[in-house]
């Protein structure tokens, strides 16, 4: 059976960087936003719609298929979300069956549970996450204050938690749903990835 490592992560905890570095150290594939691109290729959903929906619970009016835009009623919205989750499940299963890999977020730990992935959850205290985000602000984000970043971090976590909890019937970030929970508050991500690669 393929070696599958799934990484759930609090926003700003460095989980994504840890995943990239770990995959690199182990010489295996890494999937994050690639999942959304592949979902768009394999379905009628636009990548923009997928990106705004997977791991969020937003119900904004968005183009749901390439070139079309409609106002979504609640029932229709739920059906769309379920359809999207089926696509997500199919895509993630295909990627995992394709070979050893690290998969970031998107309920992969739950979706692949029969493949016995190593389920990692990465978290850190809010101060270090704000600090991390401050240091890595994009050009658009330069004007954001620490307070605004903090609110954004907490809002994104809330969306990820909501999405995960709705579809997996488990609690996002609850240690009993993971094999390894890593607190990156005082950790050097590069060192941690090296250590983890040796662990595996």
What is the contact surface with a copy of itself in residues (CB under 8 A)? 116, 121, 123, 125, 173, 175-176, 178-183, 186-187, 195-196, 198-200
> How far apart (Å, rounded) are the C-alpha atoms in residues 158 and 32?
19
Q: How far is the CB of 58 from a copy of itself (least distance, A)?
A: 27
Contact 199, 180 (CB under 8 A): no
Nearer to a copy of itself, 149 or 196 (CB): 196
Identify any residues that bridge with 30 across adjacent strands, giving them in sequence order: 102
Burial class (CB in 10 A: 0-12, 13-18, 19+), 152: middle
Shortest distance in whole angstroms from residue 183 CB to a copy of itself: 5
Q: Looking at beta carbons only, is 92 or 182 nearer to a copy of itself? A: 182
Which CB atom, from 123 or from 167, has the smaller least distance to a copy of itself? 123
Residue 127, CA distances (Å) to 89, 134, 144, 161 in order: 34, 11, 16, 20
Can you tell me which residue has the tokens 């700003």? 12
| Residue 84 to residue 168: CA distance in whole angstroms | 14
CB of 28 to a copy of itself, least distance (A): 17
For the bound state, the minimum distance from the C-beta of residue 120 to a copy of itself, rounded and expressed in Å, comes to 10
Looking at the Cβ atoms of 20 and 197, the one nearer to a copy of itself is 197
Q: Shortest gap between Cβ of 122 and a copy of itself (angstroms)?
A: 11
Q: Do 151 and 91 form a contact (C-beta atoms < 8 A)?
A: no
**Considering beta carbons, is residue 76 or 199 the nearer one to a copy of itself?**
199
């Amino acid at each position: 059976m393929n070696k599958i490592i799934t990484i759930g992560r609090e926003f700003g905890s460095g989980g994504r960087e840890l995943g990239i570095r770990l995959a690199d150290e182990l010489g295996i594939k890494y999937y994050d936003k690639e999942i959304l691109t592949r979902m768009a290729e394999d379905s009628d959903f636009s990548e923009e719609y997928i990106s705004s929906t997977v791991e969020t619970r937003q119900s904004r009016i968005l183009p749901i298929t390439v070139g079309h835009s409609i106002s979504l009623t609640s029932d229709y919205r739920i059906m769309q979300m379920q359809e999207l989750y089926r696509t997500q499940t199919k895509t993630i299963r295909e990627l995992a069956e394709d070979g050893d890999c690290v998969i970031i977020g998107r309920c992969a730990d739950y979706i692949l549970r029969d493949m016995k992935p190593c389920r990692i959850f990465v978290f850190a205290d809010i101060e270090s996450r704000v600090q991390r985000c401050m240091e890595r602000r994009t050009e658009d984000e330069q004007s954001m204050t620490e307070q605004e970043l903090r609110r954004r971090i907490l809002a994104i976590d809330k969306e990820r938690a909501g999405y995960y909890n709705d579809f997996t019937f488990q609690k996002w970030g609850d240690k009993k749903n993971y094999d390894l929970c890593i607190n990156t508050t005082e950790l050097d991500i590069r060192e941690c990835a090296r250590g983890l690669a040796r662990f595996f």
